[in-house]
Amino acid sequence: MACPAAGASNKLWAGRIQAETNQLVDAFNGSLAVDARLYRQDIEGSMAHAAMLAAQGIISPADADAIVAGLEGILRDIEAGALSLTANAEDIHMFVEEVLTERIGEPGRRLHTARSRNDQVALDMRLYVKNETIALEALAQGFLNVLLDLAQNHLHTVMPGYTHLQRAQPITLAHHLMAYAEMLRRDIARLRDGRARLDECPLGAGALAATTYNIDRHATAEALGFARPAPNSLDAVSDRDYCLELLSTLSIMMMHLSRLAEETITWCSWECHFAEMDDAFATGSSIMPQKKNPDVAELVRGKTGRVYGSLVTLLTTMKALPLAYNKDMQEDKPPVFDAIDTAKQCLEVFAPMVASLQFKPETMRQAAAHGFLNATDCADYLVKKGLPFRDAYKIVGQLVHQCIAAGLTLETLSLDAFQEASPLFAEDVYEALKLETCVQNRNVPGGPAPEAVQAHINALRGSSG
């Protein structure tokens, strides 16, 4: 073998490239600072690959045993803090291989047989994303359980329901919270759906065109916990749909958290005062001693834009990339890692904050008692006595106008005034207009009646896990 030219690079990919790489290029090209968190996935993938190579007779069992033992030692040392990941390596793959070769010698050089960094990084990312979706699902389920518990405790807590930020119809706090429970249920389903689609092992795809070695891709897929090998080698190394799906799911989930954060902020304001923030989850002001600020909810609301940015970043990176692997795809990791970290942090802190909210049932009911939230129920009262809805709607609208002019509510309007508007009104109208009656009468699937909400809570508890 000819000796490398003087000053040639000693990098693992040296050969065709003879000159020493410019230091600026090294710094620009390297990714170890970002992909170091993939060390476990990289090592596990390498152990499965080595075992398969030996089983297929491509390397000797002795070499495979040395490789696996060496990799196990590297994993132990990294996790014990005895091996630093700040070494001068281009990426986590080269770092592991360089350390392995330093430790076990010639067998370490055989590990990369029938493999490329392209299928290696694709494997690492799939393993990482797969594991993180499980962790995210557990956190989302924990938050969902918080909402279910709160709803269970507030089945009869009447509050205003809103449209256009205007008081609309009476509902219960339980019914309101269960709307967010449904959002989280869908988020969890999306995490599970995405995990099912990414469950394909890219190892064995090589750089783009697989390999001439007699490898067993089913064996490595099974060893690494995948359902099957990826069916096309070009797609296997260039696919990042599973990352985009996760970022999309996290963006939707963060939107849901942001909506609840906004409502929490409103509820805890003095203008609304439906709830009070627990001191453990509030902050103060450096100048105004009376302040109790909902910083956790505001940060959740603010960090939502950060996760959106990660999705747009990766969509833009992948746009117009020709097959197969391109170095642009090294930029998949920062947005994916950041979005995962951000979403997990938000779920971890926001769930206990919401659980600690001290709700004010009397204030909520008082708010529901004003604004003619029972106007629709008043119209329904006439409809049930035979009047067409549009006629009933007009009569009640006129009664509301009359009440506003006189400073009254429908509950305080005299029976004479009711009967002047329509002879169908009788004494039982006052029972029909009670907020509790208005809520209870909406006992249909998905409605705010306590019985309907209880059924909803039971259904979600039964479907969790």
**Which of the residues are catalytic?**
164, 285
d(CA 381, CA 413) in angstroms, rounded, equals: 15
Angle at 239 between CA 116 and CA 201, to 5 degrees: 60
Shortest CA distance to 220 belongs to which of 234, 241, 208, 236?
236
Report how far residue 418's alpha carbon sits from residue 399's, in angstroms, rounded to the nearest whole number: 8
Q: How far apart are the first and last CA of the chain?
A: 59
Q: 21 by DSSP, 3-state: which?
A: coil
- Separation of alpha carbons 102 and 379, rounded Å: 83
How distant, in Å, are the alpha carbons of 164, 275, 291, 389 from that of 397? 19, 32, 42, 12
Concatenated DSSP letters for 115-159? --HHHHHHHHHHHHHHHHHHHHHHHHHHHHHHHHHHHHHTTT-EE
**Are 99 and 83 contacting, i.e. CB atoms less than 8 angstroms apart?**
yes
Element (H, E) at 26: helix 23-29
Residue with tokens 């609301």: 301
